[in-house]
Amino acid sequence: MQIDIFLFIVFSCFALFASLMVISLSNAVHSVLFLILVFCNIASLLLLLGAEFLSFMLLIVYVGAIAVLFLFVVMMLNVKNTSIKANFFSIFPVGTTIFFILFNQLFSVFNKLNITNLKQDKIIWISWISESNNITNIQVIGNVLYTKYCLLFIISGLILLVAMIGAIVLTMHQRTDVRKQKIELQLNRNPKGSLKFLDLRN
């Protein structure tokens, strides 16, 4: 067995196991941690399939932002166990319907591919290790993004900067009834009048 196929099977099994743990655990913190594990395994599968840009974007956006945000929100709210006890017979019809819809879609994809009629001599296996010296998808996207669409990239960066500044300004509350420390007055203070000696008589 080649190392690519072995890693694909390992990451697929871990992703399936972690996804089952996400929906089966009652602890919200543990569910979010297994969700991060699902994202990491899917990113590894995308990396094995040659879509390294999608793999890194999945890690940056979902694991680095959304999943960590979920984790911090759950930990700040101190939600340990779910208080709602759902009945199995009330969830079973919905779950069965969704399962058959997804299974039908997957079966239609395999039916269109018609894998049983493919001949083994027409399939060419290319290992991703041997393709490491070629130009990757990230290099191609970077060349296009920073040359042809550089103006749109800069404008989108400015829009995100304005949105971030606007969110900071809207969340800042200026209170007038609170005494604040004035650093400039403290720095301009005369040090001679800061100490005062008193003679105490017994």
48-87 pLDDT, tens digit per residue, is 887 788 888 888 888 877 777 777 777 777 665 555 566 6
Query: In this structure, what token pair is assigned to residue 26?
Result: 């009652």
Residue 96 in any domain: the answer is no
Instruction: Please name which of 146, 135, 31, 126 lies closest in space to residue 80, comparing C-alpha atoms.
Output: 31
**Confidence grade of residue 188 (pLDDT, cut at 50, 70, 90):** confident
Instruction: Please name which of 145, 144, 136, 142 lies closest in space to residue 50, comparing C-alpha atoms.
Output: 136
User: Phi and psi of 45, rounded to 5°?
Assistant: -65, -40
**Confidence grade of residue 158 (pLDDT, cut at 50, 70, 90):** very high
Residue 61 in any domain: the answer is yes
- Number of structural domains found in the chain: 1
Residue 58 in any domain: the answer is yes
Compute the distance between CA of residue 124 and CA of residue 121 in angstroms, rounded to an integer: 8
Tell me the residue range of the domain where 54 lies. 3-85+118-188
Cross-strand pairs, 81: 27
101-152 pLDDT, tens digit per residue, is 988 887 887 776 655 555 455 556 666 666 666 777 778 888 888 888 889 8
Residue 12 in any domain: the answer is yes
Residue 175 in any domain: the answer is yes
Question: Which one-letter amino acid corresponds to residue 150?
Answer: C
CATH number assigned to the domain comprising residue 48: 1.20.120.1200
